Structure 1
């Protein structure tokens, strides 16, 4: 199997999973992409931009006023988007729960129309409910873990910044 076939197979798997999860999967994916984007931006800032910013501030902060301004602006930059990351991490499990409810409601609607003897109807609705729940929980847990790490790093950088502008 070459890489193109593997890519097409993966794409088909994702399409099938999105279809099985129902309409709530799209908001889950969009919020998850936003979360990943913010997380990557924060790590890029903390690992690449922040040391450069400190070096820059050390070069130009020749007066007490400039040092104070540099500290204030850097403190704001360190904390940027951390609340949004936490918020999105909390929204993802709620979207998963919404998918669970919509899957169960759809199941009861179909049972009402076709009767309870059709097990495929019940299985499809329960499957949709579980897929969205799993997706929301997994994505939310990722966000909580990474959000905690980013918060810990920001606190450590704030402490270092409080001791003076040192990289």
Structure 2
């Protein structure tokens, strides 16, 4: 329990040093990870059942060679593809937004530095250091958030692509 309290205090100190923009970075990071975990769950739990259902419906068809049968096959593949690709664009957008949110923190921190310089002068380096810290920490946090998302979202995208290809391969058209 003491470890959790110390961890919370260090997070609180980090946010205090980086400014309120870190809350926005944390929100974007949380949302990104919730969406990625949901997509992994979909790929491992929901889609295999859907794939099995589509393949069994295709195998049960008597007509698999006509133009009409191929349009049905294409429609089933398209519906499954839509389910697989759902929310992937949102995940990629959140990954791209994290560094930009960090840069917003940099701008607000530098404004704080300039305000300090305007009101206190340049003779107090301690006050300027706090503002510079508030300018650099959000950038670092945004970059770390984006890096964690880039790796896992690209792996997720590759798995989605493989799942689509396996579905297409398992529905032979004669």
Rounded to whole Å, the distance in 2 between the matches of 1:50 and 1:9 is: 42
In the alignment, what sits opposite 1:132? 138
8 Å contact 2:102–2:140 — kept in the other structure?
yes
TM-score (norm 2): 0.86
Q: Deviation of residue 163 (structure 1)?
A: 1.0
Asked if the contact 1:54/1:165 (under 8 Å) is kept, the reply is: no
Contact kept in structure 1, 2:99 and 2:142, CA below 8 Å: yes
- The answer to whether the aligner puts 1:14 opposite 2:11 as a matched pair is yes
Q: Partner of 1:96 in structure 2?
A: 102
Contact 2:55 2:170 in 1 (8 A): no
Render the CA deviation track for 1:53-92: whole Å, top value 9, x for unaligned: 2223334443347644432221111111111111111100
Aligned residue number for residue 87 of structure 1: 93
Whose Rg is larger? 2
Structure 1: where are the runs of 5+ without partners?
Answer: none
Spell out, residue by residue over 1:90-138, the C-alpha distance to the aligned partner (whole angstroms, 9 max, x if none): 1000000110111011011011101111111111011111110110000
CA distance in structure 1 between the aligned counterparts of 2:37 and 2:75, rounded to whole angstroms: 27
Query: Structure 2: how far apart are the matches of 1:60 and 1:125?
Result: 63
For the Cα contact (< 8 Å) 1:93–1:136, is it kept in 2?
A: yes
Gaps of 5+ in 2: 62-68
Stretches (4+) displaced over 6 A:
none
Instruction: Summarize the alignment of residues 150-165 of structure 1 with structure 2, pairs less than 5 Å apart.
Output: 150-165=156-171
CA RMSD in angstroms comes to 1.8
Q: Which moved more, 1:58-67 or 1:136-145?
A: 58-67
- Does residue 146 in structure 1 map to residue 152 in structure 2? yes
How far residue 47 of structure 1 moved from its aligned partner, in angstroms, is 1.9
What TM-score results when the alignment is normalised by the length of structure 1?
0.89
> 2 CA distance for matches of 1:53 and 1:124?
55
Q: 1:109 aligns with which of 96, 104, 115?
A: 115
